[in-house]
Amino acid sequence: MITLGLDIGSVAAKGVLLTPDHSYQMVVPTGWSPRDTGQQLIAELTRLARLELHDVDAIVATGYGRISVPNADKSVTEITCHAKGLTSLLPQVRTVIDIGGQDSKVIRLNESGRVIDFAMNDKCAAGTGRFLQVMAQVLDMDVSDLGEAEIPAETVSINSMCTVFAESEIIGHLAQGKSRGGLIAGLHQSVAKRVAGMAARIGVVGPVAFTGGVAKNSGIRRALEAELKAPLLTPYYCQFTGALGAALLARNL
């Protein structure tokens, strides 16, 4: 069977195409039109696998733009897709922490990989990738360089939770000559505290996995491990767990 999973996120759109002997993945910026981005991903993934659209047996879409994908046979919630994708990669995991562009979520799984509880923050940019993107801009950096640039020993605490106020706070610290590395460590700590607080509300049971685009940031990973006092497992394709879950669920259609 050949299936395709699309995770149309707020920042990045991810696609996974599964054939009987291969898996193909691709990520593109979501841009202003989730519909066009979904179609672009389908076209590019099928081209990559040297297939035509009619060769694909089923397509499942997830993510905030899931209802906009015209060729999808079904749309499924992100929680279900992330749980499915993650358990196929790391079946031993009991808690998943996913930090994406515009939301963060904590998912509790039982021994069979079924979702038993979850918590989600999609109301406020603090504790999400968007917060880090805004702060990286203030620091004149790319978000992908934050993890390597922090200096944990010089952590400058960021007290504002609101993204707009945190931005002003950073500008103030820079004016006082605080180090960029120390500020980045403070930002990572601020995101980690926020997400760990949400995780504590539903309870963290190990082993714990860390996924989403923000899981590529080694500084956030270290800060979260310190807050949770637990090691985090991160699959290599950490940004693709939702799309992978969608492609696996498409096999049931």
- What does the binding site for ligand ADP look like in residue numbers (CB under 6 A)? 9-12, 63, 100-102, 129-130, 132-133, 143-144, 212-214, 216-217, 239
Min separation Cβ 136 and ligand ADP, Å:
8
Q: Vertex 105, ends 102 and 106: CA angle to 5°?
A: 165
3-class state of residue 77 by DSSP: coil
In the bound state with ligand ADP, the residue whose beta carbon lies nearer, of 2 and 125, is 125
Sign, CA torsion 105/70/34/44: positive
Min separation Cβ 112 and ligand ADP, Å:
25
Min separation Cβ 182 and ligand ADP, Å:
19
The half-sphere exposure of 92 on its side-chain side, counting CA atoms within 13 A, is: 7
Measured between alpha carbons, how far is residue 229 from residues 90, 93, 94, 110, 195 in Å? 20, 16, 16, 21, 13
Min separation Cβ 100 and ligand ADP, Å:
3
In the bound state with ligand ADP, the residue whose beta carbon lies nearer, of 2 and 184, is 184
Asked if residues 82 and 212 have their Cβ atoms less than 8 Å apart, the reply is no
In the bound state with ligand ADP, the residue whose beta carbon lies nearer, of 5 and 129, is 129
Min separation Cβ 110 and ligand ADP, Å:
24
Min separation Cβ 143 and ligand ADP, Å:
5
- Give residue for tokens 């270290």: 222
φ, ψ of residue 60 in degrees (nearest 5): -120, 135
In the bound state with ligand ADP, the residue whose beta carbon lies nearer, of 125 and 196, is 125
By beta carbon distance, the residue nearest ligand ADP is: 9
In the bound state with ligand ADP, the residue whose beta carbon lies nearer, of 100 and 182, is 100
Over its C-alpha atoms, the chain yields an Rg (Å, rounded) of: 19
CA–CA gap between residue 78 and residue 86 (Å, rounded): 12
In the bound state with ligand ADP, the residue whose beta carbon lies nearer, of 9 and 245, is 9
Report the DSSP beta bridge partners of residue 117.
108
CA–CA gap between residue 222 and residue 167 (Å, rounded): 22
